[in-house]
Structures are given as C-alpha cells and as structure tokens.
Amino acid sequence: MNEELPASPDMWLRTLGGLVLAIVFAALLAGLLFPAVSGPDVDRRKAEAKRQTTDLTNALKYYMIEYGKWPPITGDGLFLDEKRQGQLMRILRAQEVPNNPRRVIFFECKAATERSGKYFGGLHPKTSVLLDPWGHPYRIALDADYDDTIANPYPDDPLIQTGFIVWSPGKDGQQGAPANPRTSKGSDDILSWQ
C-alpha cells in the first residue's frame, strides 16, 4: 500500500516563493539582455548627437583661433551639401593642407557604422561627411561676413549671435517642428546654440 503524506502549507509557500523568485530573476535577466529600444536608445542617440555638435563647434572655434579666418571654401557660410561639408571635415582633420597649412587636427571622430547599406553616427568612409546617430548629415553654418551673427536656419526663430552653428535634424530627419518647420520649438532637432 502506497500512502502519500499531504504536503504541508509551509512546503507550498516555499515552492511558490522559489517559483516567484525564479520568475523575477528571469525578468531581470531578460531586461539586461534585451533592453527597451525606445527610451534609453533615443536618449543615448540624442546625447551622442549633442556631443558631436559640441565637438564640431569646438573644432570650428579652434580653427578660427589658429588661423584668424574661415577656410576660403566658406562662400556663403553654409555647409549643407555633401561636397562642401566633406571638404570642411577634411580641412578640420588636417587632410587638406592648402586650407590647413599647419596641419592642425581640430576634429577627430570615429568612422560611421554601416548597417544594411546605410551609415550612422560618424564620418562617412567615402564622402567624409559627419553623420548623426540616425544617419543624417549634420548641418553647419559659419559667419561668412564676420559680423558675429548668423541667420537662423529656422526663419521664425531669432537671429543667432555667434560665429558658427551646427545642428542635426534629429530622428525624423526633418528640420523644424512637425506642425511648423520654420521653428525649432517642438522639434526633435539637436542644436549647438541652445
């Protein structure tokens, strides 16, 4: 005859407690291995973009201190296309000697990361364009007439009192706020002057 003793309530509590502890441990481990994509990743990318705009504005400042003028490629002061921005980045990295004859390295940056044929967060290997963490080229404007003012790239926002600005269109890749692209207010853009 096989007689089983009924389990004591104390044993059930210990088993249940062990099971709850195992579930909590598994959830914590899953959180470490697979972090949430939206919150921390967006904050990390914004912080990286802000750091890159700061690093680039510092490079521009030190170029001006070193040479007392902007490179002769400045023209209207806007570096919004790949060709001009790539040339400016090569100058700041001492790869274009005629416009940086002392070969001072003003800017150092990692190479862009490539995923599925698109580059992100660094210097594009072919064009030398500086890309933000979302893969968009940074935009650069210099005070070409040396009056310490730059027309705001957001026409509804006030004039900017500085010699140079750098900005990223942010995650959405569109300059300005969704409801009004003529202002930076309410946008996800990363600006060096705010």
Q: What is the number of domains present in the chain?
A: 1
Mean pLDDT for the stretch of residues 55-60: 96
DSSP-based three-state secondary structure for 135? coil
Is 0.85 topped by the overall pTM?
Answer: no
Any domain includes 14: no
Any domain includes 17: no
Mean pLDDT for the stretch of residues 53-58: 96
Any domain includes 11: no
Any domain includes 19: no
Any domain includes 177: yes
Nearest C-alpha neighbor of 43 from the set 185, 183, 171: 171
pLDDT given for residue 66 in this prediction: 97
Any domain includes 4: no
What count of other Cβ atoms lies within 10 Å of the Cβ of residue 10? 8
Any domain includes 135: yes
Confidence of residue 32 (pLDDT cuts 50, 70, 90): very low
Of 174 and 25, more confident: 174
Range of the domain at 148: 39-191
pLDDT given for residue 42 in this prediction: 81
Does the pLDDT at position 163 exceed 70?
A: yes
Any domain includes 33: no
